[in-house]
Amino acid sequence: MNFPTTFVLAQAAPGGAQNGTFMLILLIVMFGFMYFTMIRPQMKRQKEHRNMVSALAKGDEVVTNGGIAGRIDDVGDNFVSVEIAPNVKIKVQKSAIQQVLPKGTLKSS
């Protein structure tokens, strides 16, 4: 039985529409998965870092991105002066502060 070409093409069209809908739903689900596993946690970390940097004050003990630990001596708009040893101060960008240590951490080490 040889069917005309138009009959075969006419039957293939409805399956293609269902396949397209499935692909669209799959794309939306994949985007949702990526958002909740990658984008949202990164935005949360950025917000926490921004809040930590804005709360820096004189006397806080901090660690920079380069691993230098010290006590904040002066806080400016964009830069922070960190005392890393007696009478040794360095100036770093606020965004280069990685974490704030609990009080007294530097004296114990």
Span 35-58, pLDDT tens digits: 999 999 999 999 999 999 999 999
Whether residue 66 is found in the same domain as residue 46:
no
Domain interval for residue 32: 1-55
Please say whether the beta carbons of 79 and 93 come within 8 A. yes
Give counts: helices (H), strands (E), the chain. 3, 5
Tokens of 51: 């809040």
Cα separation, 54 vs 94, whole angstroms = 8
Whether residue 13 is found in the same domain as residue 29:
yes
Whether residue 42 is found in the same domain as residue 76:
no
What pTM was estimated for this model as a whole?
A: 0.70
What sign does the dihedral 25-27-31-33 (CA atoms) show?
A: positive
Q: Beta strands 61-64 and 69-75: pairing type?
A: antiparallel
Q: Which of 55, 85, 100 is the last residue of a domain?
A: 55
Whether residue 49 is found in the same domain as residue 81:
no
Q: What is the pLDDT of residue 106?
A: 86
Give pLDDT < 70 ranges for the chain: 1-17, 108-109
Total of domains in the chain: 2
Q: What is the CATH number of the domain that holds 80?
A: 2.30.30.60
Q: What is the pLDDT of residue 18?
A: 80
